């Protein structure tokens, strides 16, 4: 009936092993196959995760703690960048003053 047309075993040498063709292709032989559908998988009776009110509160508290920790880390990184920027600006002003004093010949 429906036969694939793709070679089964292409070899690196270029020789192709053909598919095995059935010897008898009659309707009687096709009707011998069992055409009943496979049984559908049974859905589990309960969900995998059961949330009780206590576990929901614990989950919310844990999520809040994670948000606070991540926020603290991000704020501290922003503060470190700001302090570094101010320090570089102060150093640039001091160097500019030193260079200006050297050019005046003091």
CA distance 46 to 90: 65
| Full DSSP string of 68-84 | HHHHHHHHHHHHHHHHH
pLDDT confidence of 58, banded at 50, 70, 90?
very high
- Name the token pair of 105: 């010949």
Return the number of other C-beta atoms located less than 10 Å from residue 49's C-beta.
6
Check pLDDT > 90 for residue 28.
no
pTM value > 0.85: no
| Tokens read off for 17 | 């092993």
- pLDDT tens, residue by residue, 65-90: 999 999 999 999 999 999 999 999 99
Per cent of the chain over pLDDT 90 is 43
Instruction: In whole angstroms, give the CA distance from residue 64 to residue 62.
Output: 5
């Amino acid at each position: 009936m429906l036969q694939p047309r793709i070679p089964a075993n292409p070899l690196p040498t270029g020789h192709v092993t053909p598919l095995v063709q059935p010897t008898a292709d009659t309707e009687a032989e096709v009707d011998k196959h069992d055409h009943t559908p496979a049984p559908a998988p049974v859905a589990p009776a309960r969900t995998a995760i059961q949330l009780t009110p206590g576990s929901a509160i614990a989950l919310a508290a844990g999520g809040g703690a994670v948000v606070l920790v991540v926020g603290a880390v991000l704020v501290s990184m922003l503060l470190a960048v700001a302090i570094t920027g101010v320090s570089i600006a102060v150093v640039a002003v001091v160097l500019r003053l030193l260079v200006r004093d050297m050019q005046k010949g003091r």
